[in-house]
Amino acid sequence: MSTIVAIVKSLVGQVFAVSLDGLKRQIFEGERLLMGEQVMTGLGGEVTLQLANGELVNVAQNSNWQAPANEAPADDNKVEPNPSLEQALAAGFDPTTDLEATAAGPGGGTGGAAGGGHSFVLLGETGQQLEANIGFETSNLGLNGTAQDELLATGEQAAQATVANTPLDTTAPGAPSVVLANDSGTSTTDLITNNGSLIVGGIEPGALVEYSTDGGTTWNTVFTPNEGSNTVLVRQTDPSGNTSPSTPLTFTLDTQVAAPTLALTTDSGVAGDLISND
C-alpha cells in the first residue's frame, strides 16, 4: 500500500512539511507528501495539494494541514524460520558437503581441473567448431544509411498513427465543488471561519484548477483569502483545453479578536477622576 497521500500542485512563498518524527523540510511543486506529515504555511505562503482521490486542498497562509496517518502495511515477503533446518544445523549438518551434488555436468564442483568449483555446465566436444559472435550489425546505420531512413520512416508512421488514434475531446468537464476546509464559526454552515483553506472536488485527472476573485476577469492557480468577506470562483480546464463552468463560494474570514471595553457605571467624584461610591 502506498504511503503517498498528496502531491504539491502549486505554491507561493515558503511552505514546510513536518514528519511524524519531527523532521522539518521545505516542499516544492511536484513533491509527494507521506502519511502523517503536517503541512505548515507562514506569512505569504500558500499551497494547493491534490489528494489521492483527486480532490484539491488549498492551504492558506498561516495555516496547517495534517495528512492522515494509516497503519503500516503487512510485510507479505517476511520469511518464516525453518525449525527442522535449524535443528539439523545445530546437530552438525553441513549443507555444503552433506547434500547431493547438483546436475552441473561431468565433473561439476570438483575443482579447476574439471571446470572449477562453480555450477557451470561443461560443453562436450562436437564435430563442428563453436564460434561466439560478439557485437551487432553496424552497417547502414550512418546518417545516410538505409537503416536510418527506415527507422525515420517507421517513427513518422508511428507518430501519425498516434495522432489518428487520439480521440477528439470537445466536452467541457463539470463544474468543480468547493467548500471551506474548516467552518469554524458558531455554526458549521454559517460560512464564517478563521482559516481560509478550501477543499475542491470533482477534478478530472490532469485538469488545471484556477481561482478568480474579480468575477472571472482574471484567474490564478492559487487562492489567497482576505480578511472579511470573500467571493471566489473556481473552475477546471481538462488536458484537451475544455474549460468547465465556474462554482462560486462566498464566506467571511475572521482572524481578529476585538479588545473589550471597561468603564465605571457611575463616576461619583469629580468628573474624570474615576472615583465612585457605586
Give residue-wise pLDDT tens across range 71-88. Answer: 444 444 455 556 666 666
Query: Is the pLDDT reported for residue 104 higher than 50?
Result: no
Q: Extract the C-alpha cell encoding 203.
A: 477534478
CATH topology of domain 177-253: Immunoglobulin-like (2.60.40)
Residues of the chain with CATH 2.60.40: 177-253
Query: 147-177, pLDDT tens digit by residue?
Result: 556 656 666 676 666 656 667 888 999 999 9
If you write DSSP's letter for every residue of 8-71 in order, what string do you get? EEEEES-EEEE-TTS-EEE--TT-EEETT-EEEE-TT-EEEEEETTS-EEEE-TT-EEE----P
| Pairing, β 4-12 against β 46-51 | antiparallel
* Model pLDDT, residue 214: 95
Q: Which pTM was predicted?
A: 0.46
Contact indicator for 121, 102 with CB cutoff of 8 Å = no
Contact indicator for 236, 242 with CB cutoff of 8 Å = no
Q: Name which residue leads in pLDDT, 232 or 95.
A: 232
What is the Cβ-side half-sphere exposure of residue 33, based on CA atoms within 13 angstroms?
32
Contact indicator for 226, 253 with CB cutoff of 8 Å = yes
* Model pLDDT, residue 112: 46
From CA 256, how far away is CA 226, in angstroms rounded? 12
What is the maximum span of the chain, computed from C-alpha positions, in angstroms? 132
Q: Which of 58-62, 105-109, 124-128, 244-248 has the lowest mean pLDDT?
A: 105-109
Query: 37-56, pLDDT tens digit by residue?
Result: 889 888 888 999 998 888 89
Neighbour tally for 223: CB within 10 Å: 24
* Model pLDDT, residue 66: 85
Q: Which of the four pLDDT bands, split at 50, 70 and 90, describes residue 144?
A: low
* Model pLDDT, residue 246: 95
* Model pLDDT, residue 93: 64
The dihedral of CA 203, 205, 207, 208: what is its sign?
positive
CA quadruple 243, 176, 215, 252: dihedral, nearest 10 = -160
Q: Extract the C-alpha cell encoding 92.
A: 552438525
If you write DSSP's letter for every residue of 145-198 in order, what string do you get? SHHHHHHHHHHHHHHHHHHHHSPP--PPPPPPEEEES---SSSTTS-EES---E
CA quadruple 14, 18, 22, 24: dihedral, nearest 10 = -30
